[in-house]
Amino acid sequence: MIQNSFEKNGGTYTLVKDCLIPNLILPEEKPLGKWGLLRKHYLRENHRALYSSWLLTGKLDKHLRQIEKDCEERFELITMQMAERENVTEGLKADDQMEWLRRMNSIWNRAEEIVLHELIYV
C-alpha cells in the first residue's frame, strides 16, 4: 500500500462509515493572555499582510506567545521599579490599604501604557 506524507510522519486514520478521517490532536497549550490577544488584534487590524503571512506559515502563535512572555516580564519590572521609587511598600499596605491600592492602581495603569507602546503597538 502506498503511504502519503501524513502516514509517513506517523499519522493515522479512523474509519467512519465509508470515510477515512485523520486523527488530529492539537497540542494542549494554555490560551493566550491579555498581551498576546492585544498584539494579535493590533496585527490583524494594522498589519494585515504580516498577520496573514505569519498565520499561514505558523509563526504567529510563536510570536504571540513570546510577546506575552516579554510583556509580562516588562510589566512586572516596571511595576516593581515604580513602586520602589514612589515608596509604595508593604508597610504602607499594612498602615493604609486604600492609599496603597490607589497608588498601585496608578502604577499599574502607567506600567500598562508603557508596555503597550513599547511592545504591543510597534
DSSP string, 12-40: -EEEETTEEEE-------PPP-HHHHHHH
Q: Tens digits of per-residue pLDDT, 5-48?
A: 767 777 788 888 888 888 877 667 789 999 999 999 999 999 99
Residues 27 and 95: their CA atoms lie apart, in Å, by: 47
At 22 the pLDDT is 83
What are the residues whose beta carbons fall under 8 Å from the beta carbon of 54, sequence distance 6 or more? 43, 60, 63
Residues 23 and 54: their CA atoms lie apart, in Å, by: 25
